Amino acid sequence: MPGDHYWSTEENIDMRYRTLGGTGIEVSTHCLGTMMFGAVGNPDHDDCDRIIHTALDQGINMVDTADMYGRGESEEIVGTALRGRRDDVVLATKVHFPMGEGPNQGGNSRRWILKAVEGSLRRLNTDWIDLYQIHRPDPATDIEETLSVLTDLVRDGKIRAFGCSTFPAEEIVEAHQVSERRGLGRLRTEQPPYSILARGVEASTLPVCQRYGMGVLVWSPLAFGFLSGRYRRDQPVDLTTGRAALRPAQFDPTIAENAAKLDAVEQLVDLAASLGCTLPQLAIAFTVAHPAVTSAIIGPRTLPQLEDLLTGATLTLDDATLDRIDEIVPPGTNRYNPNAAFPLRALTDTTRRRRPLAERAAA
C-alpha cells in the first residue's frame, strides 16, 4: 500500500508502519491495547510489563489505553513499563467515562477534560500524550466545547493530536464542520469497533474517515472473543466467568444472534485452516486489509496470546480469501451489535423517539 513503511527487528519480523491520518506520525499496523492489564484481566503487573516490552521489541510502536481501564490501573502499568522508552512510543489514551462518584467526574466538558488529562499524564509518567481520544460522544456537551479544550491542550503541549472513539459518522461530520467554522483543531482519528463479525462501520464510518483523511484504529478485531477460537458451535459456554458473566446476553448460544455468530465462526475456522493460520490471525489480517484502517488494536491478556498474534503479522489475505469472508459475512453488515453495552442515547431515550402524547396524531 502506498505510504507504508517497514522496520526489521532483530528477530527479523518486518513490521509495517502507516501514517496516522494527516498527523505525520508513523504507527505500526498492530497497536498494543491495554484494556486487559490490571485487575480486570491480568493482575500481574510484571507480566504486563513483559507483554509491553515484547511488543515494542517486535516493532509495535503504538500503545493504547484509557483512564477508565481499571480506574487508572492500566495507565499506571503502561507508565511504569515505558520508563526509558517513552520517546520511541506513540502513546494514546482516552477520556469520557466516569472516574468518580460525582456528577462532573466524567463526560466531555472542558471542566472534566482539563482535570482528567492531568490525571492521565501523572499515571502515565509523561509530559505529553501523543493521541488523546474522546472515548464516546456526550449528548450533554456541545462538540464545540470539547473541540475547544482539546485545541487548547495541543497548544499547551500536553497532547500532540486528538481523536474520537465509537462516534457515529454523522457526529464525526458535525465535528469537522464545527472545527472549520470556528477555527479549531480537528479530529485526527476515529477508533471504531470492527471485525469480520461486525462490519457495519464499512457502510458509513470508514468512508467518512477516508473523506476527512482521518486515521482509523479499530478495536475488538476478535469480536469480544468470538474470533479467538474459544467459542464454538455445539460446545457449552460458561456464562459464570469472564466476559460471558458480565454480558451473558452476548454469549448465550440459545439466543439467535449468538447462534448466527457461531455459525459464521465455524466457516471461518475452516477458512483459517485452509490458509494454515489460526482464527485470530485471520481476524486481525482482515481488519488491516481495509484501505481506511491504519492499525488494529490487539489486546492480549497473556504473553502467549501476543506471540500468536505477532506470528500472524505477515499474513496476507488474497482476493479469493476476502471474497470468501464476504460470503460468510456480507460487507457492511453485523452479526451482532458491537455497541450493545454502550447504546446510543437516540435509541435508549424514548423522548428522542416519541413526541408528547398530545402531538402524535396527524390531525
Residue positions annotated with a catalytic role: 69
With vertex at residue 168, the alpha carbon angle to CA 257 and CA 262, rounded to the nearest 5 degrees, is 20
Task: Choose among 304, 289, 327: nearest CA to 228.
Answer: 304
Sign of the dihedral through C-alpha 102, 105, 108, 109: positive
The helix/strand/coil state of 324 is helix
What is the Cα gyration radius of the chain? 20
Half-sphere exposure of 80 (CA within 13 A, CB side): 14
Length of the chain: 363
User: Cell match 485470530: residue?
Assistant: 280
Residue 283 near residue 222, CB atoms below 8 Å:
yes
CA-wise closest residue to 94 among 247, 219, 221: 219
